[in-house]
Structure 1
Amino acid sequence: MSDVRDNVEDQRFELEEQGHTAFAAYTIEGEVIAFTHTVVPSSLQGMGVGSRLIEGALAAARERGLKVRPECSFVAAYIAKHAEWRDLLA
């Protein structure tokens, strides 16, 4: 998604909304990106911000040819609910 940006320096994908930033932290080892932690500020919860963030992060991983290891429960649950991303699982 065009709104989601990869903050390479901080190793996290970010999505800014209403002056707040949601993020999904990651590490990359070889061809595998591990999503370790997702944070959605309380003021943004329930608005689909986390889902948009993860969709953008997964799209970026696919574009780069990376496999995904969802260490974060939010990312794991998102992939479980959206079969179109399961081919990315490491």
Structure 2
Amino acid sequence: MPDATDNPARNRYEMVVDGVTAFVTYVRQGNHISLMHTEVPPALAGRGIGTALARSVLDDIRARGLRLTPACEFIAAFIKRNPAYAGLVA
């Protein structure tokens, strides 16, 4: 599974799988990032892409030393199921 890449021009993290892009949109202000929406196209459904995308995005946020607000319900639920990421939440 590829890692998500930050596309600051589009304010989103992107993961391309089989030529199809899944993404998480965000709003960033300084050292704070709000994750707004996660989208996994139907062509990628049921393959664990959303989970891999969330993990990759949160790992990148951790590596950059950012704090986050999980405004996206999918990301918030992922963090609740994976408490190792709870320390990132502002």
**TM-score (normalised: structure 1):** 0.94
Report the Cα offset of residue 3 of structure 1.
2.1
Alignment RMSD? 1.3
Amino acid at match of 2:72: C
* Aligned equivalent of 2:37: 37
1:6 aligns with 2:6: yes
Report the Cα offset of residue 19 of structure 1.
1.4
Please list, as runs of the form range in 1=range in 2, the aligned pairs for 1:43-82 lying within 5 A after superposition: 43-82=43-82
Find the aligned partners of 1:31 and 1:25 in 2 and give their Cα distance.
Answer: 16
CA deviations on 1:35-88 (whole Å, 9 max, x unpaired) are 001100011111110111111111111111111100000000100000110010
Amino acid at match of 1:71: A
Q: Name the count of aligned residue pairs.
A: 90
Find the aligned partners of 1:2 and 1:42 in 2 and give their Cα distance.
Answer: 18
Find the aligned partners of 1:64 and 1:2 in 2 and give their Cα distance.
Answer: 19
Q: Which runs of 5+ in 2 are unaligned?
A: none
Report the Cα offset of residue 2 of structure 1.
5.6
Amino acid at match of 2:23: F
Q: Please identify runs of 4+ aligned residues in structure 1 that moved more than 6 A.
A: none
Give SS of 2:79's match: helix
